Structure 1
Amino acid sequence: MEELASSVDELWEDQESSSQSSFDTYLLGFVIANIVGLQYYRGKISGREMVGLVREPLNPYDGNALKVLNTRTLQVGHIERSVAAVLSPLIDSHLIVVEGIVPNSRSASNRYKIPCQIHIFARLEAFNSVKSAISRGGLELISHSDVSFTLSEAAVVKGNRAGGESQSLDKVFKLVEKNVSKKAAMEPIEPPNEVIISQLLLHQKEGLGWLLHKENSNELPLFWEEKGGEFVNVLTNYQTDKRPEPLRGGIFADDMGLGKTLTLLSLIAFDKFGSFVPNSGDAGIEEIVEEDVKKGKRGRGASKKGTRPLKKRNTKEAEFGSKAKGKSVSVADGCVSFSGRRTTLVVCPPSVFSSWITQLEEHTSPGKLKVYMYYGGERTKEVEELKKYDIILTTYSTLATEESWFDSPMKKIEWWRVILDEAHVIKNANAQQSKAVTNLKATCRWVVTGTPIQNGSSDLFSLMAFLRFEPFSIKSYWRSLVQRPLAQGNKNGLSRLQVLMASISLRRIKGNNLVGLPPKTLQTCYVELSVEERELYDQIEGKAKNVIEEFIANDSLVRNYSTVLGMLLRLRQICTSLALLPLDLRALFPSSNVEDVSNNPELLKKMVVMLQDGEDFDCPICISLPVDVVITRCAHIFCRSCILKTLQRTKPCCPLCRQPLSQSDLFSAPPKSSEADHTEISSRNPTSSKVSALLSLLRESRDQKPATKSVVFSQFRTMLLLLEKPLTDAGFKILRLDGSMNAKKRAQVIEEFQVPGLDGPTVLLASLKASGAGINLTAASRVYLIEPWWNPAVEEQAMDRVHRIGQKEDVKIVRLIARNSIEERVLELQERKKKLATEAFGRKGPKHRKEVTIDDLRTLMSL
């Protein structure tokens, strides 16, 4: 279950990345401590300011170190040792989260230390134990009952007073919102016709204008004012005499299938052949404030300039094969030499490489843009060689691998522009690939994704960190200003999130009929389980309810999450086909006692096999499909590299249950299925209520129009194998596309699926995640989802491989849902997630509930 994996992941993260429990934490009180070591760091504090407190467990001088950052992410110093020694173990145990504020009353006479209020947040049930630990440590906790609590500078306290802090903060957000709406109009810009040979649609030209304006604007970043020669961040009160750099970039979040790649290629083309004059009349916050005082209006200033309109021209198709890996990839013969120094780095999943290359072939003039694929074993290490190209294509995993390399050319180059395509893959800010892209040096930074919010607002923090959108790129600021108010139902949290997204993102949806796509209809087909399926389902669900209720009552849900995941998975498999279940189901399920399996390696390995077949299981550390899977003695599953890195810590323990752990407590998963296994799976009887319903729907579609192509999505690779025989026996020509295939094999399958008419394949059996990004399946017009996904964004990505620019026919999508089952309740969770994603981009929304809670699990199990 992706939500559970995500929340578990956040439980192990360092203070820098916070924890899921922080959503439910409340202010316990504050302690006063000194920030020391000021003379050793560049960061400055000049007045009353919020500061970031970040755990530094690998500090060579103090394992309890708490470093202090200012708004500009510069280190100011450390919290004094005596206080850090008490608070850091509580932070590491995820009992508390801390936020720091330097009060107005600090003395300027001492240059070596600054007093700081450290506000301590904890869950209500942990209040007493945290108070005891702080008292034993010799610290004075100032809580609500103390007279001096009124001195607290925390926004959560001042917001409860008349004219308090949160009210003034929201005035600032309202001013920013006014400023954003003032600049909302987008002027369409024509791309340079020396490079771009295709005619852009109106929304793409407007998007190009927005991208160019963001990159060329010289206005102050949001929340900054100029006062008497000083620059002040009005959210944190940080002051500096150096003008902050503009935020050159943002989130390009157009709906999937609206042609974002072509718009980005047009942006890159401007680096060599275009000219753009940004508006000179853009107002900062301080100018809006002046307007409020003077009741006047500003002019819009100079208009943007674009090149002349384009004419459609033919282009010669270039060849791209496996030999292109690590070599120069010219869009055609006779590449011209690169005349400028503005190189763009595009980071994407391997499956998206082919999309970028195809778009270059179709939409750019031969030889105008030089492209290099920085991928595979033959890639160059020469910085000067890479600078000769206009576009460098690489993958997230390549950058993650090179993050530890001292001589990686990716880290040495000062990129003009970095584009993160399918950027939602960095939703876990603590993952190695997220850190690798965030650490890149670049003038312009772009996040490109049709689904910036997949699980909840916490997904956005890693994007803020990559964009270096201060102060939200520091976790403690993000948590206090946006995440906590949002999670605890404060209406200001949602409005703040909306203002932020409106200020740095552009999102248009297909529902606005921007591109004239044929209609898409979504139909839910409810399937009644057979007598045998219903009997087993009810039996297993009854046992699962008892086990999960026990976990909830004992507060051991997170510790036993692999067991919970397995139970939910089995219920979903019963809804799809009994053939997915192992013969020794009862030996595996359910086990309410983790210790039962801790000394049984064979049973542990079977648990891995059980979870591996479904694509909805992510490694809780990197939040990606596990690679080289291992299971721990405490029955938790990780990528081998992820858990080994975690075990390098001073006190190695399981990131999930915190039990001591060593390498000898790790067990490898069995090797993946062989061809013999494939044959064995295919020979099973896949008859099920859903398979019968699917065959009926496919035959009906074929009878209406024999050449209609369909895509059947499932998250279970075994299910795709099981469907091959009955579909072939029914006369359908089929292809399969799943996560076990490399990028080259996937490209071959997709190309073969495009063959038109009755001679070509008519059904593609596709893995949901393997087909969710960078793949064009517009040859099909029918989509069948065998089971619902936990995350609606993944489903939508898969649907939009079919419903996108290039689709000529009406698209029909059918979801097969087992009636009176966990699948119906998954749909309820999907609607909640969609609501948050929609509200984040909206102007107004109702009071928001907490994001992912135990109540969600109760909903799934009808508890």
Structure 2
Amino acid sequence: MHDADKICYGMLYRQDVKLISQSMLALVTKLQENAGTNTNHVQKFKLTPKAVHVLLSLPDGSEFGYLRPAMTKALVPLLEKGPAIEVEAVAVTSHLCQQISHATKPEEALVQVNINIYGPQNCDKEIGDMLSDQKLWLQRPDHMRAKVIYKNPHALSFPEIEGYLQEEQVAKEVAAASKPRAEEERLKILVKSVENALSRASELDNETGDQRLTTELLKHQQRALSYMLQRESGEIPEKYRLWEPCTFRGQDMYIHRITKTRSIIRPEEKGGGVLADEMGMGKSLSTLALILRTLEAGIEWAEHKRTEEHVSAKARRPSHSTLVIVPSASRLILIYSRHCGDVLKTVKYHGHSRKKDLDVLEKSDIVITTYNTLAIEYALKKSVLHKIHWYRVVLDEAHIIRRPATTFHRTCADLDARSRWCLTGTPIQNRLDDIGALFSFLRAEQFKSLAQFRRFISTPFDNGDPVVKDRLVLLYDSLCLRRTKDILDLPGHVERIRELDLNESERLQYDKTLNILNRYMRTQVGRYHDETGHTITGDGQSWKGSKFGLFQAHLQLRILCNHGTFQKPFSWKKRDLKDEQSAEREAVVGEFGLKSEVMCDGCQQPRPILGSTHAQNNFVENCAHSLCSDCLEDCSELTGMQDMRHCPLCQRFQVTLTNASAQIQDTLTQTEDGDVQMQDVPDNDVARDEANKNTHHKHYFNPNGYSTKMAKLMEDVKKNITDTKSIIFSCWTKTLDLIVRHLEQEKIDYLRIDGDCLLSKRQPIIDRFENDKGVQVLLMTTGTGAFGLNLTAANRIFLIEPQWNPSVENQAIARAIRLRQLQEVQVTRYVIKNTVEQEMRSQQILKRLAADVGFKREADNAGANADHDMVTTTLVPGNNP
């Protein structure tokens, strides 16, 4: 088949290639010879399937490298289709040479190529489905053959809603977003390259846990303990020290490997570090093992500090205790008690019942507090915790302090401690400065100031200086331990997709809604730009200010796929904007908000949306205040109220949440010891709230109806229900409400966690789900399930609707596939055929663009590709269980 008869389906972007062992210099020379004087030369590679990998060869037949196993698994079926399907790897020669020149060791010999795929036009859907089944998504090629038409089966196009965007508008939107995405891609590539070059983890010894630890440490946790002991004692192997011996002008001294600062005496390299293992690898258990292992050493240190001469009367009191700062105190207390019982004197310093007694805190073994509690007391200049010189301070979910200008960072940095630790699975989220802020908290020599980090790391990276990688490798190997789940032997999971057909009444309502939305979207095609550059619709109103756009249109159709005829018919006159806005927020939080933040009106701190109650704060006052889960939990514990129906800010408490927040007055009275009490809310308020809720449900749902999804879900849940534990995920609380109705009709006991469930209440629910044999089902919103919970009790997961961002689903699933998970997990996804849901399965590339058109938000740029080792996907005919 000639090129003229083929189309280009797209490219798989930046795929890793492990170079075959050879002289790096010889390889660079050969590539440069192929390029000649053309600085923009694109090198092409032939792909050949081998026994265990796909081989890349140069045009002269010489072997270049091979692809990773996951990519091999995806491409071999394409390569075996014969000459009709062509798979070709390409890369800019100058970029290849630059990457290869930095590889000084064989394990660093890794480059990236783009993979273009060509074939007949009538095979586009088949190829698209094969790749999407492997969680791979095609993009517009950077370099493709001339005179070949590009037609991407994964490209975002909604045939149901006609003509919503012109091609030039798509190009304009993509171009506007290309710069920040390119910068983020550069950062991802750098971080991945750095992590591949690390070596310290493989050279650590296994350290067994203290006998008081009731849980045996796994091998990787033993090596984490070894690393932490090295960092605290300063007994670090020479190759991982940042200060190396040298001779300068005939004098022996030490020089910093990065800043080149000189010192006559050897600076100490101890005092803690960053444990940055991937989520779910047991960082808290490794830290507990460290506390037990060094308990006696801490007591000796504190006694020595007390007897030191010339100690100022205003000096902070030394304690052998470890202060642990967490988002939720209750969860960590449960974890610690599970692994060591009551052998440690643990104090929960949180809530109105906390004891502000220095003697009690000083004599404890562990003090657990929250970021909010610490920040509130610090702002009020009444922080007891800042009056102690701790043996150790540990920040759990340490990325919370990644912005040095925030109160959280300043509050934590002002604590005194012999050792400081940061626990986080995401040391770098959006920028290099994230980890620089952690180094600043650690008071790492030469990087105590973030300005120093920016000078030697961030700024050179922005300027494209390749030296940044080597510097980061030195910092990581010295101050961080970063490993992924690839080193673990987890049971994996099996996936099946239930493709369902709507019944006649559901299809009628779906098509009617589709026609209504079609008519609206067609009116937007004729919009034009005014001379000021604003986008104008035919009636002169700003498109950007439109109250209803593409995202909301698809939202209506997606909700219909879940609710069927239980959902009241869509009507312009009867639209409930509050319901729509709530659904939009939940969808955006669940699908785009992995790293997005909002400002809490209580503590005035940027906090992650995911897993918090930002999605909906349904206070009686119906106000616009948004409070994070931590602030709600603080208010709940301070007031003794379990149900925060009234907005604390609207009620004007008499206590200042932070130095920047509103004064809280009227309904609270402050006692002499600083505790806060709230007047009881009359019972009629409770009754009114319940009545409002029931009325709202009647307004939203029909009393009777039928949902194909709900019916099939119940069939699946009831199968082997006594021998299984199931988690049901949806991004919408309204869908969970409908599932509750069906579970109660089937007399199935269930538990529920969503954004309205305080963090302190979630772990007890998980514990009950794990231990109560009578409860087989747990309902969760998708975002909540991807935040701070361990769900290993489940062996079945049901995903009610597809998400634009598949990484959100993957994170929720990953909660059940964690350490000590002994069972294979079965994952069931539901997709309604011939609807917007079927389109969503293969449309991932421009998902953020679609949301931008109709709903303005700052989205997470998480990549769509994810590793899916040990996963089998089965397509199940929907109407045949």
The TM-score, its normalising length taken from structure 2, stands at: 0.52
SS at match of 2:338: helix
What is the aligned counterpart of 2:660 among 597, 621, 645?
Answer: 645
Determine the C-alpha separation between the residues in 2 that align with 1:638 and 1:555. Answer: 31
Determine the C-alpha separation between the residues in 2 that align with 1:565 and 1:386. Answer: 55
Is the contact made by 2:527 and 2:535 (CA closer than 8 Å) also made in structure 1? no
Note the 1:845-860 alignment, pairs <5 A: none
Task: Tell me if 1:782 matches 2:801.
Answer: no
Is the contact made by 2:807 and 2:866 (CA closer than 8 Å) also made in structure 1? no
Identity %: 26
Deviates more, 1:263-272 or 1:575-584: 575-584
Task: Tell me if 1:800 matches 2:775.
Answer: no
The residue identity in structure 2 corresponding to 1:346 is V
| 1:271 Cα deviation from its structure 2 partner | 1.7
Is the contact made by 2:234 and 2:268 (CA closer than 8 Å) also made in structure 1? no
Is the contact made by 2:324 and 2:369 (CA closer than 8 Å) also made in structure 1? yes
What is the aligned counterpart of 2:417 among 442, 457, 460?
Answer: 442
What is the aligned counterpart of 2:862 among 817, 833, 842?
Answer: 833
Note the 1:310-389 alignment, pairs <5 A: 341-350=319-328, 353-354=330-331, 356-364=332-340, 366=342, 368-389=343-364
Is the contact made by 1:528 and 1:819 (CA closer than 8 Å) also made in structure 2? no
Closer, same or farther: CA 608–762 of 1 in aligned 2, 3 Å? same
What is the aligned counterpart of 2:204 among 168, 181, 186?
Answer: 186
Note the 1:103-122 alignment, pairs <5 A: none
Determine the C-alpha separation between the residues in 2 that align with 1:694 and 1:466. Answer: 50
| 1:750 Cα deviation from its structure 2 partner | 2.8
Determine the C-alpha separation between the residues in 1 that align with 2:465 and 2:704. Answer: 46
**Counterpart residue number, 2:491:** 518
Closer, same or farther: CA 676–520 of 1 in aligned 2, 3 Å? same
Determine the C-alpha separation between the residues in 2 that align with 1:823 and 1:548. Answer: 31
Determine the C-alpha separation between the residues in 1 that align with 2:816 and 2:444. Answer: 35
Is the contact made by 2:386 and 2:416 (CA closer than 8 Å) also made in structure 1? yes
Task: Tell me if 1:819 matches 2:838.
Answer: yes
**Counterpart residue number, 1:109:** none
What is the aligned counterpart of 2:741 among 718, 725, 746?
Answer: 725
Structure 1 residues 652-707: Cα deviation after superposition (integer angstroms, max 9, x where no partner): xxxxxxxxxxxxxxxxxx99994334424544448999963464255235335653
Determine the C-alpha separation between the residues in 1 that align with 2:389 and 2:525. Answer: 55
Task: Tell me if 1:675 matches 2:693.
Answer: no
Closer, same or farther: CA 224–371 of 1 in aligned 2, 3 Å? same
**Counterpart residue number, 1:157:** none
Closer, same or farther: CA 752–378 of 1 in aligned 2, 3 Å? closer
Q: Which consecutive unaligned segments of at least 5 residues does structure 2 have? A: 1-174, 176-189, 299-317, 537-541, 600-604, 628-648, 650-655, 664-684, 832-836, 849-858, 868-881
- Tell me the C-alpha RMSD between the 2 structures: 5.4
**Counterpart residue number, 1:395:** 370
Closer, same or farther: CA 406–784 of 1 in aligned 2, 3 Å? same
Determine the C-alpha separation between the residues in 2 that align with 1:495 and 1:266. Answer: 32
Structure 1 residues 590-640: Cα deviation after superposition (integer angstroms, max 9, x where no partner): xxxxxxxxxxxx99x899756655545742461334779799xxx998657
SS at match of 1:207: helix
Determine the C-alpha separation between the residues in 1 that align with 2:548 and 2:814. Answer: 28
Closer, same or farther: CA 711–271 of 1 in aligned 2, 3 Å? same
| 1:787 Cα deviation from its structure 2 partner | 4.7
**Counterpart residue number, 1:314:** none
SS at match of 1:749: helix
Closer, same or farther: CA 209–730 of 1 in aligned 2, 3 Å? same
| 1:225 Cα deviation from its structure 2 partner | 4.7
What is the aligned counterpart of 1:197 among 214, 219, 229?
Answer: 214
Is the contact made by 1:349 and 1:395 (CA closer than 8 Å) also made in structure 2? yes
The residue identity in structure 2 corresponding to 1:622 is P
| 1:755 Cα deviation from its structure 2 partner | 4.8
SS at match of 2:598: coil
What is the aligned counterpart of 1:251 among 268, 274, 277?
Answer: 274
Closer, same or farther: CA 831–745 of 1 in aligned 2, 3 Å? closer
SS at match of 1:784: strand
| 1:223 Cα deviation from its structure 2 partner | 4.6
SS at match of 2:751: strand
Is the contact made by 1:577 and 1:690 (CA closer than 8 Å) also made in structure 2? no
| 1:189 Cα deviation from its structure 2 partner | 0.8
SS at match of 1:820: helix
Determine the C-alpha separation between the residues in 1 that align with 2:532 and 2:461. Answer: 25
Note the 1:154-553 alignment, pairs <5 A: 181=199, 184-193=202-211, 195-217=212-234, 223-225=242-244, 228=251, 232-233=255-256, 235-236=258-259, 238=261, 244-273=267-296, 341-350=319-328, 353-354=330-331, 356-364=332-340, 366=342, 368-455=343-430, 457=432, 459-469=434-444, 474-479=449-454, 481-483=456-458, 497=472, 500-514=475-489, 517-522=490-495, 531-532=510-511, 534-535=514-515
What is the aligned counterpart of 2:598 among 592, 595, 619?
Answer: 619
Is the contact made by 2:273 and 2:479 (CA closer than 8 Å) also made in structure 1? yes
Closer, same or farther: CA 341–478 of 1 in aligned 2, 3 Å? closer
Instruction: Say how many residue pairs are matched.
Output: 558
The residue identity in structure 1 corresponding to 2:333 is I
Closer, same or farther: CA 730–402 of 1 in aligned 2, 3 Å? same
SS at match of 2:819: coil
Closer, same or farther: CA 270–535 of 1 in aligned 2, 3 Å? farther
Note the 1:107-146 alignment, pairs <5 A: none
Determine the C-alpha separation between the residues in 2 that align with 1:250 and 1:735. Answer: 39
**Counterpart residue number, 1:575:** 558
Closer, same or farther: CA 240–775 of 1 in aligned 2, 3 Å? same
| 1:455 Cα deviation from its structure 2 partner | 5.0
The TM-score, its normalising length taken from structure 1, stands at: 0.53
Q: Which consecutive unaligned segments of at least 5 residues does structure 1 have? A: 1-124, 126-169, 276-339, 590-601, 649-669, 839-863
Determine the C-alpha separation between the residues in 1 that align with 2:791 and 2:743. Answer: 20
Is the contact made by 2:242 and 2:478 (CA closer than 8 Å) also made in structure 1? no
**Counterpart residue number, 1:316:** none
Is the contact made by 1:192 and 1:273 (CA closer than 8 Å) also made in structure 2? no
Closer, same or farther: CA 675–488 of 1 in aligned 2, 3 Å? farther
SS at match of 2:210: coil
Structure 1 residues 36-76: Cα deviation after superposition (integer angstroms, max 9, x where no partner): xxxxxxxxxxxxxxxxxxxxxxxxxxxxxxxxxxxxxxxxx
| 1:497 Cα deviation from its structure 2 partner | 4.8
Is the contact made by 1:528 and 1:689 (CA closer than 8 Å) also made in structure 2? no
Is the contact made by 1:251 and 1:506 (CA closer than 8 Å) also made in structure 2? yes
What is the aligned counterpart of 2:777 among 745, 759, 763?
Answer: 763
SS at match of 2:719: helix
Determine the C-alpha separation between the residues in 1 that align with 2:535 and 2:658. Answer: 24
**Counterpart residue number, 2:765:** 749
Determine the C-alpha separation between the residues in 1 that align with 2:690 and 2:801. Answer: 26
Deviates more, 1:249-258 or 1:568-577: 568-577
Determine the C-alpha separation between the residues in 2 that align with 1:738 and 1:504. Answer: 37
| 1:372 Cα deviation from its structure 2 partner | 0.1
Determine the C-alpha separation between the residues in 1 that align with 2:434 and 2:703. Answer: 39
| 1:721 Cα deviation from its structure 2 partner | 1.8
Closer, same or farther: CA 225–491 of 1 in aligned 2, 3 Å? closer
| 1:788 Cα deviation from its structure 2 partner | 5.9
